[in-house]
Structure 1
Amino acid sequence: MTAPADRIAAAWRMLAELGVTITDLRDDLRSRRPIPTVADYLPQVAAAAGPGARRTYGSYWARMRTLWGHRCLDEIAATDIEALRYEAAGSARSRRNSRSGRHAGEHVIAAARALFNRAIADGLIDPGASPAHQVAKPRRLPNTRRALTAGELVQINEAARASGDDVVLDALLLRLHTETACRRGGALGLRLADLDVRNGQVHLTEKGGTQRWQPITTGLAQHLLALAKARGAVQPTDRLLRYRDGRPLTSRRYDHLWKRLGEQLPWVAMLGVSTHWLRHTTLTWVERNVGYGVARAYAGHTDSTGPATTTYIKGQIHEVAAALAAMTGQPHPLASAAQLARLNGA
């Protein structure tokens, strides 16, 4: 039952006389609220995180649970996070392209910030009390990836077709990533319904849930459909890329592919070449030969960072299709003859 207005007003006057504000009341209630331990709270954090965050931060959250599980969130200090950062950096697996565990240390801080951001959002701690935000992230070093040369790309494709237990699948994978510049997650998420053979395009769902129709050559579209049908894809929601036994493809196929290519081509292992290098290669070609706006559209970038003009520099799908046609030398249903003539310098 709602209190009369005069009683509410009297209560506010009494609080004012006592020097008590609404902020004081809120802080008092918050101080009375029990703060969970790290072990009790981390499952909630993981449940509220996306699959990408769980994959990236999961091992670091597990380590936090082991080290700090019995402690309440407000008992964790910046020094604890800094110590875990150096521990992770020191125990990171050494690779040819590793950077002395720098990325592992960066991920520790990011995982801790994700934990305390959730605690702040849930009203468990004040924004200024987050120890994770008192630890500076290491400055990110320049990326060592680069565009592959035409000769290097030929070597990779020839090596993929000359070995392995499923050369058809591997050849299509490399071709799909070269034509679309998509990420691994975008390719693995493709369904039968996402393939438009008639118009030569696939519907990609990628990083951050962004979606776009991406042109591919009609030849690749036909081969992708044939592979999917031959390997059991029937329903529109069935995955497009599949193993010979009909199972949907997983990221392990990429790991095995590049390990095998590295064994056959020592420079691939030495440089740490991966699927993402194909993305660099294609986007570099598009930017150099077609332009920045089309390269942004080709990449599926939707961010608005940078100069204000990036808001207006937006490539259209027919321009992306024309860029693909110029790059592959194959006509595309969505590219006009005028566009192709202009790109070819006619």
Structure 2
Amino acid sequence: MTQTNSADIEAARLLLARLGVSVTDLLATAAPPTAVPTFAEYVPIVSAAVGAGTRRVYSSYWNRLVEHWGARRLDEPTPTEIRQLTETLKTALIVRRNARGGRSATEHFIAALRCVYTNAENDGLINPGSNPALKVAKPRRLTSTRQAIPDAQLAEINRIAAMTGNDPALDTLILRLHTETACRRGGALALTPNDLDATQCLIRLSEKGETVRWQPVSPTLMSHLLHHAESRSTPPNGQLLRYANGRPITKRRYDHLWDRIGRHLPWVATQQISTHWLRHTTLTWVERNYGYATARAFAGHTDAPAASTTATYVKATLPEIAQALSTLTGEPHPLANS
């Protein structure tokens, strides 16, 4: 043993003695290595920890993940293997007419995998630098093909909805709700009678990202929403939109509605027009007539890091949104600026 080593050891002994710690204490308190779980073991834990919206979006991708890698530990896959699995999943996709090369599925699968690994990091199961999902880039998003629907064509859509199908009252109510409020499908499906403020003609919309906002509606739409809830025996906290037999509708009603409209109006089927096009239509009109700030508030968009700094300061008020709606519908609104 050299003189230098002896001095170092003696210094270490003095330090341990001063701290009141022995070598035995160090050995006894050494943390055992954490066992890294398999995907089959850990994915259900993550699924139970996230919100309902996240679970709904990612569950199918997590199922595929467990199906292919259920027996593998979280620390085993490499970025290259993740890319290979992504390509494998793309080949198994159901190709729809509006498919865009599997980009959306690829993006969601990588996001679902990152969600798993982020939770694993937080739980101390992997080191932050060992997250392979962060080393796999998401595909670049293509520009949306959706656009505003011209007035004449929008009138045709509403005419077909009112003249066909087994429940025209429901279908026309759905179309008017989305046209007036520019709400998303999830917001409409989450609507309950308790979300209706009949006095001020407001509805409470709960949409993605757990956002909640009060949105103005016309007196006519409010009266139809109240009548719909009463005539279809909707409980106060129950889903508002229901079939004539009282059963709540699902997103399948939207699919059937647009399929039927597309059979009568071929251009609807060709362009793959859907409910989200109504959102584009209304927000385009609001932006053109009342500016960006009002359109942003009308859409229920929240300030995000990517938003311009100015958007933090130029927020539209509820009366301004109500005024835009009043002009859009041609009806006075109790909250509109006089």
**How high is the TM-score relative to the length of structure 1?**
0.88
Alpha-carbon spacing, 1:318–1:7, altered in 2? closer, same or farther (3 Å): farther
Displacement after TM superposition at 1:10 (Å): 3.0
Alpha-carbon spacing, 1:78–1:225, altered in 2? closer, same or farther (3 Å): same
In structure 2, the residue matched to 1:341 is none
Please say if residues 241 and 249 of structure 1, whose CA atoms lie closer than 8 Å, have aligned partners that are also in contact. yes
Matches within 5 A, 1:96-115: 96-115=97-116
**Rounded Cα–Cα distance in structure 2 between residues aligned with 1:152 and 1:266:** 12
Matches within 5 A, 1:34-53: 34-53=35-54
**Letter of the structure 2 residue corresponding to residue 110 of structure 1:** A
- How many pairs does the alignment contain? 320
Alignment partner of 1:174: what SS? helix
Residues 147-181 of structure 1, C-alpha deviations (whole Å, 9 max, x = no match) = 11111211111111111110000000000000000
Displacement after TM superposition at 1:114 (Å): 1.1
Is 2:10 the partner of 1:10?
no
Matches within 5 A, 1:313-324: 313-324=314-325
**Letter of the structure 2 residue corresponding to residue 317 of structure 1:** L
Tell me the C-alpha RMSD between the 2 structures: 2.0
Displacement after TM superposition at 1:198 (Å): 2.0
Displacement after TM superposition at 1:104 (Å): 1.4
Alpha-carbon spacing, 1:117–1:8, altered in 2? closer, same or farther (3 Å): farther
**Letter of the structure 1 residue corresponding to residue 53 of structure 2:** G
Is 2:166 the partner of 1:162?
no
In structure 1, the residue matched to 2:12 is none
Displacement after TM superposition at 1:73 (Å): 0.7
In structure 1, the residue matched to 2:290 is 290
In structure 2, the residue matched to 1:276 is 276
Displacement after TM superposition at 1:33 (Å): 1.1
**Rounded Cα–Cα distance in structure 1 between residues aligned with 2:90 and 2:107:** 9
**Letter of the structure 1 residue corresponding to residue 288 of structure 2:** R
Structure 2: 5+ residue stretches without partners: 1-15
CA radius of gyration, larger in? 2
Residues 2-25 of structure 1, C-alpha deviations (whole Å, 9 max, x = no match) = xxxx9782329x79xxxx9xxxx9
Alignment partner of 2:161: what SS? helix
In structure 2, the residue matched to 1:205 is 206
**Rounded Cα–Cα distance in structure 1 between residues aligned with 2:148 and 2:18:** 69
Alpha-carbon spacing, 1:212–1:132, altered in 2? closer, same or farther (3 Å): same
Please say if residues 180 and 298 of structure 1, whose CA atoms lie closer than 8 Å, have aligned partners that are also in contact. yes
In structure 1, the residue matched to 2:262 is 262
Alignment partner of 2:215: what SS? strand
In structure 2, the residue matched to 1:54 is 55
**How high is the TM-score relative to the length of structure 2?**
0.90
Residues 54-81 of structure 1, C-alpha deviations (whole Å, 9 max, x = no match) = 2222222111111111111111221221
In structure 2, the residue matched to 1:132 is 133
**Rounded Cα–Cα distance in structure 2 between residues aligned with 1:149 and 1:194:** 31
**Letter of the structure 2 residue corresponding to residue 265 of structure 1:** L
**Rounded Cα–Cα distance in structure 2 between residues aligned with 1:161 and 1:144:** 27
Matches within 5 A, 1:177-196: 177-196=178-197
Matches within 5 A, 1:134-153: 134-153=135-154
**Rounded Cα–Cα distance in structure 2 between residues aligned with 1:153 and 1:297:** 23
The alignment-based identity, stated in percent, is 52
**Letter of the structure 1 residue corresponding to residue 194 of structure 2:** A
**Rounded Cα–Cα distance in structure 2 between residues aligned with 1:202 and 1:227:** 14
In structure 1, the residue matched to 2:33 is 32
Is 2:222 the partner of 1:224?
no
In structure 2, the residue matched to 1:340 is none
In structure 2, the residue matched to 1:344 is none
